[in-house]
Copies of this chain bind each other. A is one copy, B any other.
Amino acid sequence: MSRKSYMQAINEALAQEMERDPTVVVFGEDNVGGTGSPGEIDAWGGVMGVTKGLYGKFPNQILDTPISESAFIGAAAGAACSGLRPVAELMFVDFMGVCFDQIFNQAAKFRYMFGGKARTPMVIRTMYGAGIRAASQHSQALYPIFTHIPGLKVVIPSNPYDAKGLLIASIRDDDPVIFFENKVLYAIEGEVPDEPYTIPLGEAEIVREGEDVTIVAIGRMVSMAEQAAASLADDGIEVEIVDPRTLSPLDEDTIYESVENTGRLVVVDEAYPRCSMASDISALVAQNCFEHLKAAPKMVTAPHTPPPFSGSLEDLYVPDPEKVANAVRETVGQGVAS
């Protein structure tokens, strides 16, 4: 056990899985970083350095790609059908629009369309989220789009420990998994065991226990919820925080149990509001826990606008602890007294 960053946790998961299984193959733009260049061949390790150092250890299991996402994401699907466990990197999830077909019509549907005969063990690692002034085409969340699609699993770790355990589980999983890495979290540190371990897909975690309100928070929003919870506790409002960790499959039971107990729900989702995780989870809870709900479910999301560039706007764009706390206070103030 030692302190590692979210980025190091991911790098370590990749290294340990490549070590364990020579059919685990990693590729993406600049994943080696420098192929064909006159200087250091592994000068980069992906744009943020997540795969840095892997080339030295596993020169036959990591490759650079041309900027051809359809081709190499599709290649991951084809490789998964023919003996590899590829881990392809879609640098920013914002780039899904140039390769979505290979994800949602090919990889995701093989098993069903082929009458159960296919097995497509592939992972697409991708970076999401606002917060670094990367503007409209490099700051989106978009996981609701992937969650919409049957055949895909969607994983979204909120901390370094989960990042490692969920990535190892994703690589060992036999279905196509989209693994969402939050770019702001890369630098965040936490305790991460040195040895390989897995966190099962489809199991939520109760990050904080509380009796008054359930907050379901996605990815980086877990930390916003935690900050809000701390300030709410000062006011005597005890919040329970559920981190789904995987969005598909969604651990509905854990969410429902919590809401049955608290009677109140706030979903915190940094994605666009329409057809989002916030609406998905709110609707599921409304449909399945109606008789336990004491107040209207609340959604805290980004507004229905693209992410803005300017820091002063972007800081308003992303849900923050204050907005979360306000939503909690509103729900507590509303409806049946608790």
Interface stretch, picked from A6-14, A143-151, A237-245, is: A143-151
Give the 7 A-B CB pairs with smallest separation, nearest first: A97-B101, A290-B296, A279-B283, A282-B283, A286-B286, A97-B100, A144-B275
Cβ–Cβ contact B280 & A274, under 8 A = yes
Partner of A283, one of B100, B102, B291, B297: B297
Map CB proximity to B onto A283-311 as digits: 1 under 8 Å, 0 otherwise.
11111101101011111000111101100
Minimum Cβ distance to chain B for residue A177 (Å): 16
Give every chain B residue within 8 A of A137 (Cβ-Cβ).
Answer: 105, 109, 113
Interface size range of chain A in the complex: 35 or more
Minimum Cβ distance to chain B for residue A326 (Å): 14
In chain B, what residue has the closest Cβ to A308?
B112
A85-120: which residues lie under 8 A (CB-CB) from chain B? 94-105, 108-109, 112-113
A262 in contact (CB, < 8 A):
no
Give every chain B residue within 8 A of A278 (Cβ-Cβ).
Answer: 283
A35 in contact (CB, < 8 A):
no
A120 to B148, CA, bound (A): 28
In chain B, what residue has the closest Cβ to A265?
B286
Give every chain B residue within 8 A of A334 (Cβ-Cβ).
Answer: 290
Cβ–Cβ contact A147 & B282, under 8 A = no
A335 to B286, CA, bound (A): 13
Give every chain B residue within 8 A of A299 (Cβ-Cβ).
Answer: 283, 287
Known pairs A113-B136, A278-B283, A290-B293 / 15 extra A-B pairs, C-beta < 8 Å: A94-B105, A97-B101, A112-B308, A113-B306, A113-B309, A148-B272, A148-B276, A150-B304, A250-B274, A275-B279, A282-B287, A283-B286, A287-B296, A290-B335, A291-B335
